[in-house]
Amino acid sequence: MTASVNASSTGLRRVRALLPVRADFVAMTRNPRRDLLAGLTVAIVALPLALGFGVSSGLGAEAGLATAVVAGALAAVFGGSNLQVSGPTGAMTVVLVPIVAEHGPGGVLTVGLMAGALLIGLALLRAGRSMRYVPAPVVEGFTFGIAGVIALQQIPNALGVAAPEGDKVLVVAWRAVQEFAAHPDVTALSITVGVAGLMLLGARRFPTVPFSVVAVVLATVAVQVFDLGAEPIGALPAGLPAPSLGFVEVSALGSLVAPAVAVAALAALESLLSATVADGMTVDQKHDPDRELFGQGVANLAAPLFGGVPATAAIARTAVNVRTGASS
């Protein structure tokens, strides 16, 4: 009986240690002007990213936006970093694409719920502190691989050809190049090169200006003015039905365990890495890894209920948040 009471007391203490305290909310009122400016800046940067990652995941632009709003807010309140910004990310999108292909949009939403529960479980087990022992080369190699996959996935869009069928990105990219060579049309390629060039050159000359947003706006205006025939964000190829959002049946949950573990592991590693980067950019901030896992778990439990995709912390958006003076 005594052992059971002690176990319950220990469990309650662990749960309370993961929840926000009064001091966290007091800190939000110390520099409201700086925090508001940082929030607006990050929102401008995050909007096109959220829409793009939503489309790339296969659930549509609205899913990316819902993730940025719901997961971003909850991870900020319940997470263990004062500076972390969460939402849909490129790395998570790469993991989600095969799930969409095999299980449909409902599989992604179900995986998000399962991953959220796993992250909360890791937080209660105090697994956050052990994540710091993952070697940096492993994380960097993983990140580089994700970047390569994302680049290959965008080749059909960059060349303006319909994405060939297949689940191997290198094969699909090569088929897209062959299709473009057989029927070349430089319209889409010109837009791609123009947007990429403006983002790279502009950021080098004026690093404080969000040229990703400027480039997207200018490209959108150009497409509309010159009637270049580009499809709107989130548009599906002709003949394909719009995805119906819902959860899979209970009988299919067993096949989603492995994807949910992969999503939870990615969310944990990327979020704790991002929090560590944010700490390194400041002199007085130190994140709580277990609370950060808990916050990401809460965010991933809630986002699918609003049609959102699994989320994680975003290093680039977090860096923007820190550089613009965020403090809470």
Supply the pLDDT for residue 119. 92
Assess if residue 109 is contained within a domain. yes
Specify the pTM. 0.71
CA distance 3 to 11: 12
Supply the pLDDT for residue 298. 92
Other Cβ atoms less than 10 A from the Cβ of 198: the count is 17
pLDDT in tens, 257-272: 888 888 888 888 888 8
Assess if residue 42 is contained within a domain. yes
Assess if residue 15 is contained within a domain. no
Supply the pLDDT for residue 246. 65
3-state secondary structure of 312: strand
Assess if residue 27 is contained within a domain. no
CA distance 279 to 283: 7
Which ranges of the chain have pLDDT less than 70? 1-11, 132, 136, 139, 142-143, 146, 166-167, 208, 226-251, 283
Taking the alpha carbons of 225, 229, 235, 239 in that order, is the dihedral positive or negative? positive
Assess if residue 5 is contained within a domain. no
Assess if residue 20 is contained within a domain. no
Domain, as residue range, for 195: 32-323
Supply the pLDDT for residue 247. 65
- DSSP code for 127: -
Question: E-assigned strands of the chain?
Answer: 86-87, 312-313
Number of folded domains in the chain? 1
Assess if residue 12 is contained within a domain. no
CA-based angle 287:290:292, to the nearest 5?
Answer: 55
Assess if residue 108 is contained within a domain. yes
